Amino acid sequence: MTLLDISGLTLDLPNGTRLLDAISITVAEGETVGLVGESGSGKSLTARSVLGLLPDRAETGGSVHLLGRSVLGASRSELLDLRRTTASMIFQDPRAGINPMRTVGDHLTEAMRLCEQRSAADARAAASSLLAAVRMPRPDEHLRQYPHELSGGMLQRVMIAGALSSSPRLLICDEPTTALDVTTQAEIIAVLAEQRASRGMGMLFITHDLNLAASICDRVYVMNAGRVEEQGDARQVFRDPQAAYTKRLVAATPTIVVADAEIDAIEARADVPGRASTAAPASSLPAGAGVVATPASTEPMLVASGVSKTYLRRGKAPVHAVIDASIEIPRGGALGIVGESGSGKSTLARMIVGLEQADAGDIRIAGRERTGAPTTRVARLAHARSVQMVFQDPYLSLDPRITAGRAIEDALRLHARLTTADARARVVELLEQVGLGDRHAQARPRTLSGGQRQRVAIARALAIEPDLLVMDEATSALDVSVQAQVLGVVERIRRDRGLTVLFISHDLAVVRRLCDETVVMRTGEIVERGRTIELLSAPQQPYTRLLIDSVPRPDWGREAVPQN
């Protein structure tokens, strides 16, 4: 029977902005329905409408029925009852949704004691069995722990247990794994699938990740700008998208699936055949080959050997962030560093750009020593010309007060004596190189979108004409289509100018699109290195295999023959 029935839902703000437009969604019992879209598509708002969590002064139209009961216009007590008995929700950031001053046990038992008048002992026993159900290793011990004692993945499981404590018929998951590492994500997804199956719940799963949606959902709805663009069987929608938007989204999504043709191409290495596969790193190979051929030098652009960094903490064991790491990038090459949070990949990047000092080891860029901290102005500028960095979050890495053009101009004029007119001309040139234009020069960061900001950050780094560009999770804060744009810009610049890139990411699929070679890091150590495609198709280390297996992958390849 139909658990959730949203039909013709519209939502308008008092200023007339239409945030949701004629949304119709159904979820049956025992079914997993995906709600897929980029930021601002209205997917979270739609999900929140199910629990009556809408903006105060919003005008709604249409209807939302949960087990036949209307949610829109329901009284406070009716809503409370629906939330207590029928539907629960888990959110993206588990740490933001839990009271840091109270124990996990308090969090889990509160609703049971207050709403169901269960005794403290009874509620505690129930909470303990819920924690066991979400596969927490030591339920009774966790009940006494505070949120800060648990990792993000553990805490998300606590939130799931909390959501399940009311035995809901419908579980709404709003990007529940987006803030988590890929291996943790795989565990959470497994827990959710198991609970959904054993309880026969319906699940409404919101995500921006097409691969994730495709691998767990029965049916999906693709949303864009407040409208449902396409809906249907998950396989059908992603294998053979009908709507133009879905097609773009599917094309922009990088994948780690390696087609046989690609391996052949790598082995042949003579030529790069024009492949139909969307995510082929077609551009990176000729760039690498072309620049190595220049007579300048055959010495690698970056040589880091035996680099280590240890953080000493008062009263605690020291953290070995990076242990004896050695990497090399040829001129014009692109190296990916892949690892989960805490693997030391960002620390290594910060040491290479000089934001942190290595305890041991040696870093050379274009043959010049770049290990120590520059002390003089000349040394500082020389270091900056050796290596530039693009940071993860373009919302934070641009000075909010400084316009895009000014930011680039400052960097230019620090390194070269330029007249104002020359500098301005160069700024426009750089902006055009990253697909922006003159009109963006006057814009402050807050008026630019995430992708535009990141492109400004890239232009700013390129203004200094560095030997090496380090990109630290430079696309992970961006939507897939924007990520594709930014990656496209980087690929083009590599092709045109032979830029050497060190690309750090947690996302194997993105690294695979950009980088010829990849190293895998885990708890400060490099565990495996090799050509990206070989690494993906035939990982040698168990950890690499675990990483690759954890990436959500529909169990049907895009190339696979339809089975039904």
Partner 1 sequence: MTTPTMAVKVLRAPRVRRGNLSFDISLAILAVMTLAAMFAPLIAPYDPDAVDFAAIYSGPTAAHWLGTDALGRDILSRMIFGARPALLGPLLVVVASTVIGILLGLLAGWRGGWIDAVLGRIFDVVFAFPALLIAIMAVALFGKGLVAPVVAMSIAYAPFVARLTRTLVASERSRPYVAAYRVQGFSGSWIALRRVLPNVTPIVGAQSTLNFGYVLAELAALSFLGLGVQAPTADWGAMINEGQAGVVGGYFLPAIVPAIAVVIVVVAVNVIGEELSDRIGGGIPA
Binding site for partner 1 (CB under 8 A): 100-101, 148, 353-355, 377, 380-381, 383-385, 387-389, 391-393, 396-402, 410-411, 414-415, 457, 460, 464
- Residue placing its CB nearer to partner 1 in the complex, 396 or 560: 396
d(CA 172, CA 357): 45
- Residue placing its CB nearer to partner 1 in the complex, 164 or 468: 468
What is the smallest separation between the CB atom of 311 and partner 1, expressed in angstroms?
15
- Residue placing its CB nearer to partner 1 in the complex, 158 or 228: 158
- Residue placing its CB nearer to partner 1 in the complex, 369 or 549: 369
What is the smallest separation between the CB atom of 247 and partner 1, expressed in angstroms?
35
- Residue placing its CB nearer to partner 1 in the complex, 280 or 321: 321
d(CA 367, CA 510): 29
What is the smallest separation between the CB atom of 310 and partner 1, expressed in angstroms?
20
What is the smallest separation between the CB atom of 456 and partner 1, expressed in angstroms?
11
What is the smallest separation between the CB atom of 101 and partner 1, expressed in angstroms?
6
- Residue placing its CB nearer to partner 1 in the complex, 474 or 489: 474
Q: What does residue 358 show for φ and ψ, rounded to 5 degrees?
A: -70, 145
Contact at 8 Å (CB) between 365 and 302? yes
- Residue placing its CB nearer to partner 1 in the complex, 81 or 393: 393
Chain centroid offset of residue 123 CA: 37
- Structure token digits, residue 215: 């691998």
What is the smallest separation between the CB atom of 3 and partner 1, expressed in angstroms?
34
Give the DSSP H or E segment for 535: helix 532-537
d(CA 342, CA 327): 19
- Residue placing its CB nearer to partner 1 in the complex, 394 or 552: 394
What is the smallest separation between the CB atom of 48 and partner 1, expressed in angstroms?
21
**β-pair partners for 389:** 470
- Residue placing its CB nearer to partner 1 in the complex, 101 or 121: 101
Nearest to 6 by CA among 199, 245, 228, 236: 228
Spell out the residues 6+ positions from residue 21 whose beta carbon is closer than 8 angstroms to its own: 10, 226, 227
What is the smallest separation between the CB atom of 542 and partner 1, expressed in angstroms?
34
- Residue placing its CB nearer to partner 1 in the complex, 173 or 441: 441
Where helices occur in 86-151 by DSSP H, the ranges are 104-116, 120-133, 139-143
Nearest to 304 by CA among 336, 348, 355: 348
What is the smallest separation between the CB atom of 430 and partner 1, expressed in angstroms?
14
The residue assigned the tokens 């004629």 is 22
CB neighbourhood size of 276 (10 A):
9
What is the smallest separation between the CB atom of 384 and partner 1, expressed in angstroms?
3
d(CA 510, CA 471): 12
- Structure token digits, residue 541: 């280390």
- Residue placing its CB nearer to partner 1 in the complex, 71 or 329: 329
Long-range contacts of 70-74 (CB under 8 A, 24+ apart): 72/9
Burial of 16 (0-12, 13-18, 19+ CB in 10 A): exposed
What is the smallest separation between the CB atom of 391 and partner 1, expressed in angstroms?
5
d(CA 86, CA 74): 14
d(CA 210, CA 239): 11
- Structure token digits, residue 524: 């400060």
- Residue placing its CB nearer to partner 1 in the complex, 100 or 274: 100
Contact at 8 Å (CB) between 384 and 392? no
Contact at 8 Å (CB) between 47 and 89? yes
DSSP-based three-state secondary structure for 19: strand
d(CA 368, CA 360): 17
- Residue placing its CB nearer to partner 1 in the complex, 411 or 527: 411
- Structure token digits, residue 426: 């160069």
188: left (phi over 0), alpha (psi -120 to 50) or beta: alpha
DSSP-based three-state secondary structure for 82: helix
